[in-house]
Structure 1
Amino acid sequence: MVEWFLELNAVMQAFVATCFTWFLTALGAGVVFSFKEINRKMLDGMLGFAAGVMIAASFWSLLAPAIDMAEDMGHRAWLTAAIGFLSGGAFLWVLDECLPHLHLGFPRSEAEGVKTGWHRSVLLVLAITLHNIPEGLAVGVAFGALAADLPSATMAGAVALAVGIGLQNFPEGAAVSVPLRREGFSRLKCFGMVSCPES
């Protein structure tokens, strides 16, 4: 299995890694078939674990290699990485301001982004989509750096990033599908909205 993955070109490796992260989101969303409610403390613990995994994966698989690559190219390593980091944050801020969405646990009146009359469930799904854009970019960049043969890019780092994103996607899938079920949607609809937002 590992040899098969290593023989793929970088685009296909990124595709397979992204499918893996989606699969874990779908697996988390599948919790809705077993439970109508999840213990709040357990869910908070799972989401805290997911946040820790994502911070570690972001640093070790993206930020640290970016600093090393900038250093290898003779740039001020901290400055190049800081500009990229802040640009990414600004990009997400603009999306957050423009894309109508609603975070879990908030009333419809506190929807963010451009004002719209869209249903609460659509706004929740758009919040998931907003969150998934940088994840897809991160996986693509990690495998793209490998394809570009950059010295600081490693297969282990790219795979670790995909695994980290996947690990945090499981509790995220559960954290969104179960509250949608409480709002009266069928289990299948909840699963579909979280695992396939375009459904």
Structure 2
Amino acid sequence: MTSYLQQFDPVTQALLATLFTWGVTAAGAGLVFLTRTVNAKLMDSMLGFAAGVMIAASFWSLLAPGIDMAEQMGQIPWLTAVIGFMGGGLFMRLTDRLLPHLHPGFATDQSEGIKTSWQRSTLLVLAITLHNIPEGLAVGVAFGAVSAGLSSATIGGAIALAIGIGLQNFPEGAAVSMPLRREGMGTGKSFFLGQASGMVEPVAGVLGALFVIQMRGVLPYALCFAAGAMIFVVVEELIPESQRVPAHIDLVTIATMAGFSVMMILDVALG
């Protein structure tokens, strides 16, 4: 895979990688063709696994390389890391506050963001789309970073990040399509809306790669920014959603640790 991607420019690499992550979102949404519902314990475990992957990716694939790059570029590493990391979190907080969305399992009147009369299905899709913005951005920035020629950015590390993001996208696709199907929506439409939540990733990935290629000096900030945005999503949404049922908390915690371990292995082995 590494040799195949190396024949393309970083923007094309980012596009191909995020098309893969979108495809895994569609695969998760495709569960709706096999069953009308997914066991709650299994779904919570998958969301916990996704949280673990994102936590590990935030450090191993984004924050740590960003700190190394800042040092190599003569910046103050800890200051760059804090500015970028907190900037990512604040950006997601602003987006969360403004973009209308509804988390699975909540009543329509519990939607967040600016109040609208949009349909419940649209609000559910936007909730997962909100997750996918920083994920696509992270993959794009990782591939764009490789073009800078710094030792801390490798094509293997970028591929590991894309694989990890893909793995955790599977339950996110199902988290949209399955509730819609349970509420009586047709199978085809439930699948379409579920996979649509991942469409933003190729867009964010290409924009992220283009941005860091054109503005090399902000590369460390961009990596830390993506890390902060992903951690915000994990703490504000994925972990609470996965632990709503007290009886599932221990299993979900183990699943979260398993997700972290898988992403750590991918990054260390490939990066």
TM range (shorter): over 0.9
Question: For residue 33 of structure 1, what is the aligned residue in structure 2?
Answer: 33
Q: Following the alignment from structure 2 to structure 1, what is the Cα–Cα distance between the partners of residues 37 and 85?
A: 37
Q: Which residue identity lines up with residue 62 of structure 2 in the other structure?
A: L
Map of 2:57 onto structure 1? 57
Amino acid at match of 1:66: G
CA distance, structure 1, for counterparts of residue 137 and residue 196 of structure 2: 18
Q: Deviations over 1:56-112 (max 9, x none)?
A: 111101000001111112222122111101001111111111111111111111111
**TM value normalised by structure 1:** 0.95
Structure 2 unaligned regions, length at least 5: 200-271
1:166 corresponds in structure 2 to 166
Question: Is the Cα contact below 8 Å between 2:2 and 2:155 reproduced in 1?
Answer: no
Provide the TM-score with structure 2 as the length reference.
Answer: 0.71
- Contact 1:108/1:120 (8 A) holds in 2: yes
The answer to whether structure 1 residue 137 and structure 2 residue 137 are counterparts is yes
Q: 1:89-100 counterparts in 2 under 5 A?
A: 89-100=89-100
Distance 1:3-1:156 versus aligned 2 partners, 3 A rule: closer
User: What is the distance in 2 between the residues matched to 1:95 and 1:185?
Assistant: 28
Partner residue in 2 for 1:185 = 185
Contact 1:32 1:181 in 2 (8 A): yes
Deviation at 1:151, TM superposition (A): 2.8
Kindly state the Cα deviation for residue 2 of structure 1 after the two structures are TM-superposed.
4.1
- Tell me how far apart the structure 2 counterparts of residues 147 and 138 of structure 1 sit (CA, whole Å): 15
Percent identity reads: 64
Q: Is the 8 A contact 1:101 1:111 kept in 2?
A: yes
Deviations 1:143-190 (A, max 9, x none): 110122233111111111111110000111112211110111111101
Residue 176 of structure 1 is matched in structure 2 by 176
